[in-house]
Structure 1
Amino acid sequence: MLGLRVIDFSTLLPGPLASLVLAESGADVLKVERPGMGDESRHMSEALFAMLNRGKRSIALDLNTPKGRDAALSLIRDADVLIEQFRPGVMTRLGLGWEDLRQINPRLIYCSITGYGQTGPLASVAGHDLNYQAEAGLLDSCHGLPHVLVADIMGGAYPAVLNILLALARRDRDGRGCHLDVAMADNVFPAMILDLAERGGAGASQVNRDFFMGASPRYRLYTTRDGRRMAVGAVEGRFWARLCELVDLPEALRDDRRDPKATADALAQRLASRDAAQWDAVFAGHDVCCNQVKTPEEAFASPHFAGRGVFSHSVLAPGRSEAWPALPLPLASSLRDPERIRKAPALGEDQGHGWLGNV
């Protein structure tokens, strides 16, 4: 990614996370922020802003003024990638839409991240992660609010990176840029593969969605004596058979197809007879696909993740001396540029530097 220039007009999470992946792999990422205000995440959480914007540069431009627009155009002429997260039509009204910019930079990869896409009845509707999950049907199987931002991250940021990289690879062949329409609600559907498979046509072999939703004793959570939980994912027969042996489940109940509820109740009683740590000791060294549900704090301190270097680097917020753990990203270690990920920029601190000229 060395030499790749990315200009990022996005705020909050999806777009900044996408450009963070590019920055960590060595791209030169420039945040274009509102004067005085900047990215909204600056005011929500210093740690959140620092985690999402380390290794980037920042300038402040008022895009509603001719001066600000002209400055943006001068930057875009030399950019490889543009990321924006406004509602459809906003960049066009500012004179910075795809049709405008392809005239001055035909090699530009222009990535638009929105909730519902550039077209369709919901294109202009406001929303956030919860709304996109609700519209796509993902929340139907949830009880209460989800604790993960599926639409923002898996539906927005990561598909944006994927499509940008594919577009850059195609540009290497034909020299042409393109407009990428990344819709978070659309991209939630791959996470619903079980629901989609269950809708197979007549005669098709279908997947039992309910199996993975707690209907089977082999795939659910069980509470231990000390109030912790064990995650049983013993889908395959060999794992299930070994688990039944180790917990001493009655032989008559090990065939969970006969009476799944009775088997589940019996397994629940067995696992409730000991503390979680005791079961961890029983299962150690055995392939049973059963482990204790960790708290986030326990996971962050896990020797496994520490040994893999998942939390091995840190980030500094503007004006702060204490560091926070950097946000782990799905990048192979050989693709990371560790010198570029330590510090998040102060608002407008890079005005007039580097490839920015006198902007």
Structure 2
Amino acid sequence: MTTPALLDGLRVLDLTRNLPGPFATRMLADLGASVVKVEPPEGDPARALPPLFDALMPGKTTRRIDFRQAADLDELRTWVCDADVLVEGFRPGVMASMGLGFEALRALQPRLVMCSITGYGQSGDWADRAGHDLNYMAMSGALDQMRGADGQPVMSNIQWGDLAGGSSMAVVGILAGVWSAQRTGTACHVDISMTHGLMAHQIMPLATGAMMQPLLGRQPGAREDMLNGALPCYSLYATADGRTLAVGSLEHKFWSLVCQTLGHPEWTDRHWQRGLLPNTPASDALRAEVAALIDSQPLAHWQALFAGVDACVTPVLTLAEARQHPLFSRQHREPWVIRHATQPAQA
């Protein structure tokens, strides 16, 4: 299934490297924008990882300039005159030092949307500090929310700081800027801080942590918050073959189905919506009972048992398994499926 070219005609200059900016412009390209990736003579460092670089390049064309040469910067300025969006990921002040600051660029293109992606924003005490995804995860508090059963923080192999705090926030900001520029004719500078973007994504732990604190007398830790393991109905359970079953029956109607399917209808009303408070001995006891049952059979057994039961119970697939699953292997689609109306609206 092909995504409609909703951004057809949008011209984007991408000066970014590595992951956050290139993934943002990859999303814009997927939606039909014309993206020109501008690289230094040595190329984007991501070229050292060809599969990564190739994954970020569909729909883009490439040009190279030497950012240290005045003539090359002049050429870049001519490209800016025809652009709608410019995305950069240099440290704060670097663009201005090359004569490419926001005020200079808006003089060339009065409707330009300039997006700057940095770790900590364009101003403040941390603005000039170096960092990577792991640092942004750590400083935002997001990494603290990812703990194993032993209570220690775990490293995700998905770069949430780069992608959620950076790329996704950048695309939202860029599209909002383009909407404004088209209506007002005024340029704008979209300042994306990946660390602050991650903080904005923590709406659930901030809310549920406030709920759990009175019960615990402190902020919840590993497996103590509503959605990170404190609820028996919403947790991960080890199977007999060392795999994992994800039970996401947060609502009582789903939990009731789970209990019936597992052959334990007596568990049905042992649910948080029926008054079973998390982090209590009764709740912990139920979780241990469920864990012992799930651990008695391999993952394939539970997959077969729940195959026809719509109760929010799924296997934890490896990436290789996920790519071969019918959900993906038989349903080739983009992240966005946008359907245009086929009939004109009635007057």
Q: TM-score, normalised by structure 2?
A: 0.85
In structure 2, distance between residues paired with 1:157 and 1:252: 43
Q: 1:247 aligns with which of 262, 282, 302?
A: 262
Deviations 1:48-77 (CA, angstroms, capped at 9, x unpaired): 111101221111111111111111111111
Give yes or no for the alignment of 1:63 onto 2:73: no
Residues 3-35 of structure 1, C-alpha deviation per residue, up to 9 Å, x if partnerless?
221111000111111111111222221111111
The reply to whether residue 235 of structure 1 matches residue 250 of structure 2 is yes
| Post-superposition offset of 1:115 | 0.6
CA RMSD of aligned residues (A): 2.2
Please state whether the residue corresponding to 2:37 is helix, strand or coil: strand
Higher mean C-alpha deviation, range 243-252 or range 14-23: 243-252
**Distance apart, 1:273 and its partner CA:** 1.8
Answer yes or no: is the 8 Å Cα contact 2:255–2:268 preserved in 1.
Answer: no
Query: What secondary structure is seen at the aligned counterpart in 2 of 1:185?
Result: helix
Residue 119 of structure 1: SS of its match in structure 2? coil
Aligned twin of 1:8:
14
> What do residues 189-230 of structure 1 show as CA deviations (whole Å, max 9, x unaligned)?
2321123224669xx9xx997121111111111111222110
> Secondary structure at 1:22's aligned position in 2?
helix
Could you tell me which residue of structure 2 aligns to residue 289 of structure 1?
312
Aligned to 1:273: 296
CA distance in 2, matches of 1:119, 1:52: 29
Aligned to 1:31: 37
Indicate whether 1:42 and 2:47 are aligned.
yes
- Please list, as runs of the form range in 1=range in 2, the aligned pairs for 1:92-131 lying within 5 A after superposition: 92-131=96-135
Gaps of 5+ in 1: 311-327, 336-359
Determine which of 219, 239, 248 is the counterpart of 1:224.
Answer: 239
Give the deviation of 1:286 after TM superposition: 1.6
What is the CA–CA distance in structure 1 between the aligned matches of 2:228 and 2:265, rounded to whole Å?
A: 24
Are the aligned partners of 1:254 and 1:263 in contact in 2 as well (CA < 8 Å)? no
SS at structure 1 position matched to 2:311: coil
**8 Å CA contact retained: 2:16, 2:87:** yes
Q: Is the 8 A contact 1:247 1:271 kept in 2?
A: no
The one-letter code matched in structure 1 to 2:199 is: F
1:298-336 CA deviation, whole Å, 9 max, x = no partner?
A: 1011111233314xxxxxxxxxxxxxxxxx6x332559x
Q: CA 1:252–1:164 in structure 2 vs 1: closer, same or farther (change >3 Å)? A: closer
Partner of 2:182: 172
The alpha-carbon distance between structure 1 residues 3 and 157, as it changes in their structure 2 partners (threshold 3 A), is: same
CA pair 55-294 structure 1, distance change in 2 beyond 3 A: same
CA distance in 1 between partners of 2:231 and 2:316 (Å):
19
Instruction: Kindly provide the amino acid, as one letter, of the partner of residue 59 in structure 1.
Output: R
Percent identical pairs in the alignment equals: 40
Among residues 141, 163, 172, which one is paired with 1:162 in the alignment? 172
Equivalent pair of 1:224/1:273 in contact (CA under 8 Å): yes
In the TM superposition, residue 107 of structure 1 has moved relative to its aligned partner by 0.7
What is the CA–CA distance in structure 1 between the aligned matches of 2:288 and 2:168, rounded to whole Å?
40
SS at match of 1:269: helix
1:138 pairs, out of 115, 137, 142, with 142
Distance 1:70 1:295, change over 3 A: same
Residue 249 of structure 1 and its aligned partner are, at CA, apart by: 3.0
Q: Could you give the per-residue CA deviations for residues 232-263 of structure 1, whole angstroms, max 9, x where no partner exists?
A: 11111111122112112372685152701111
Secondary structure in structure 2 of the residue aligned to 1:221: strand
Q: 1:222 to 1:101 in 2, by over 3 A?
A: same
Q: Which residue in the other structure is 1:324 paired with?
A: none
1:82 and 2:86 aligned: yes
Q: Which sections of structure 2, spanning at least 5 residues, go unmatched?
A: 1-6, 147-152, 341-347
Letter in 2 for 1:155: G
- Aligned AA for 1:226? D
Q: Find the residue that maps to 1:79 and give its secondary structure.
A: coil
In the TM superposition, structure 1's runs of 4+ consecutive aligned residues that sit over 6 Å from their partners are: none
Q: Which structure is higher in RCO with an 8 Å CA cutoff and minimum separation 6?
A: 1
In the other structure, the counterpart of 1:191 is 201
Query: How many residue pairs align between the two structures?
Result: 311
TM-score, structure 1 length as denominator? Answer: 0.82
Q: Secondary structure at the match of 2:250?
A: coil
User: Per the alignment, in what secondary structure is the counterpart of residue 255 of structure 2?
Assistant: helix
